[in-house]
Amino acid sequence: MSSLREECGVFGVYSPESYNVALMTYYGLFALQHRGQESCGIVVNDDGVFNSYKDTGLVNDVFTPEILSSLGNGNMAVGHVRYGTTGSSERSNAQPILVNHMKGRMALAHNGNLVNSFELRRELEMEGSIFHTTSDTEVISYIITKERINSPSIEDAICRAMYKLKGAYSLVVMSPSKLMAVRDPNGFRPLCYGVTEDGRYVVASESCALDSVGAKLVRDVEAGEILIFDKDGIRSIKEHCQKADHRLCVFEYIYFARPDSVIEGSCVHEARIRAGAFLALEHPVQADVVIGVPDSGIDAAIGFSRQSGIPYELGFIKNKYIGRTFIAPGQQSREDKVRIKLNPISSVVSGKRVVMVDDSMVRGTTSKRIVRLVREAGAKEIHLRFSAPPFINPCYYGTDIDSRENLIACKYSIDEIAKIIGVDSLGFLSNESVKQLASGVHGKGYCTACFDGDYPTDVPQEKNKSRFEEKISRNKNKE
C-alpha cells in the first residue's frame, strides 16, 4: 500500500499471418495495467503500414471496441502502459513512440529509465534534433535512428545504440518487417517471451501477460540480449550479454510484478511468501492475528503466519472499483479517501494483538492512515512489518523515488517512525534477506541501491525528472 509507482509495461506480438493482433495486445496490456495507469497505446503493423492510437487513461477506457476495430488486423503489434518517471503525464508522452525515417518506420515501447538521458538529449539538440516529448524514450528512439543511417539493419542499429544508452531499458521495437525485444546489460527490468499454440510469438514485461493471450512462457530475454522475430523465425544477438553485473530490480518481487508472474525462474508469489517468513524470523512478536495490506502485502502476511504460527485472516476489504484516478467529492480529507478505498474488518482485529504486513514505506503518510483505521476498528496492539528494507536512497532506474528529501527513513530512527505512525512495534526486512527472496535467479544479483546505496551504474548528473516542465522563472536555461 505504498505510494511507489513503477514506470511502464511493454508488450509485443509477431504473427506469421494477418491476425487481430490489436485485440491480443489489448489483453496483454490489460494484464500489465498494474505497471502503469497514466496512459497507454497500441501500434499495429499491417504489411509495413502502421496504425496507432494512444491516450491518457486506463486500457479499458482508452481502447473502446470502436478504437480497437479501427486499428485493423496485422501481423505485428506493440503496446505500452505508462507511469512516467521522466517527463510529465501529458498525452504527448504516451507510448509507443512512432518514428518515420527514410530507412523505414519504427515503433518503440520502453520500460525503465536512462541515467544519461539528459546528456544524450543535450548532445542531440545541439546537433539540431527537435523533440516532441519530454520522456527519455524519445531519446532512445533518436539514438537508434541516428545509428540506423549507417547500419545494414535495424537490429544492428539497436546493437550500436546500446553502447551509448546507460541505465535501465527493456524495449519492444517494431520495424516494417521485424519485432525485436531488447534488454539492457544489467537486466534491471524484466522482459520475457512466449509462443502460442498456433505459432505467434509474444513479448511482455511479465509472464502474466503471456498467460492472458494463451502464450506459453519460453524464457526471459537475457540481460544485454537482442531478440529478433521475423519471417525466418527467432534470432539472437548477444554482443552486450555478460558485459555488466546482473542487477534485476529486487522490488519487482516485493511490489511491482503481479503475484502470478514468473520472473527469471522464480514465482513472484513464492518470493513474497519467503519475504514474510524472513520477517517472522527477524522480527518475532506475540500476537493473535496476522493481516496483510492489499494487494502486495497479502502474500508476505501469509508467509509471516506460516513461519510464526500466528493465524492469518483477511483483515481488509479493498474497493475493487477505485483506481488511481478516483477523486473524492468536495474537500474530503486524505483519510476519508483511504477509508473509501480500504476498510478493515472489525471482527478480525477488534480486541486483538495484530501483526499488519505491508510491502514498503516511502513517506509514511499512507501507513499512518491505515494504522489509524485499524486502531479505530478496535485493535488492541498493532505490530507493523514491511517486506522491504527502509528506503534511504533515490532510484534512477525507473522507480518514482528521485530524491532523499521525502523518505521518512532518512529523517528518523525505527523507534521514532513507530511513534510517528502510531504502532506498538515496527520491523523492516533486512538487506541480507531481501537478496534471498527469489530462488530461481541462480546466483545472479539484484539491484538494491534504494536500500543500500550500491548503484550498479553512474548516477545521473541531472536528477530533476520534471526539468522540461519547469516554469521559466525556475529554469536556469531560460532565454
Q: What is the DSSP string of 271-324?
A: HHHHHHHHHHHHS----SEEEE-TTTTHHHHHHHHHHH-PPB---EEE-TT--T
How far apart, in whole angstroms, are the C-alpha atoms of residue 45 and residue 18? Answer: 10
Q: How much is the pLDDT for 233?
A: 95
Q: What was the pLDDT predicted at 328?
A: 37
Specify the DSSP element, H or E, that contains 354: strand 353-358
Q: Give catalytic status of residue 159 as yes or no.
A: no
Q: Is 69 helix (H, G, I), strand (E, B) or coil?
A: helix
Centre a 10 Å sphere on the Cβ of residue 355 and count the other Cβ atoms it contains: 32
Find the catalytic residue in 8, 159, 192, 249. Answer: 8
What pLDDT does 442 receive? 46
Q: What SS3 state is found at 210?
A: helix
Q: Quick one: pLDDT at residue 84?
A: 58
Looking at residue 404, its pLDDT comes to: 86
Cis omega before residue 96 (within 30°)? yes
Residue 461 has a pLDDT of 74
What does the pLDDT read at residue 88?
52
Per-residue pLDDT at 322: 66
Residue 464: per-residue pLDDT:
54
Residue-by-residue pLDDT tens, the chain, 479 positions: 444 555 699 999 999 999 999 999 999 999 999 999 899 999 999 999 999 999 999 999 999 999 999 999 999 999 999 985 544 556 778 999 999 988 889 999 999 999 999 999 999 999 888 888 888 999 999 999 999 999 999 999 999 999 999 999 999 999 999 999 999 999 999 999 999 999 999 999 999 999 999 999 999 999 999 999 999 999 999 999 999 999 999 999 999 999 999 999 999 999 999 999 999 999 999 999 999 999 889 999 999 999 999 999 999 999 877 654 343 333 344 556 677 789 999 999 999 999 999 999 988 888 999 999 999 999 999 999 999 999 999 999 988 777 788 899 999 999 999 999 999 999 999 999 999 998 654 446 899 999 999 999 998 876 555 554 554 455 554 44
Q: For residue 172, what are the β-bridge partners?
A: 109, 181
pLDDT at 321: 73
Domains of the chain listed by start with CATH number: 8-247 (3.60.20.10), 270-319+333-437 (3.40.50.2020)
Identify the pLDDT of residue 330.
Answer: 39
pTM of structure: 0.91
425-428: strand order across its sheet: 289-292, 353-358, 381-386, 425-428
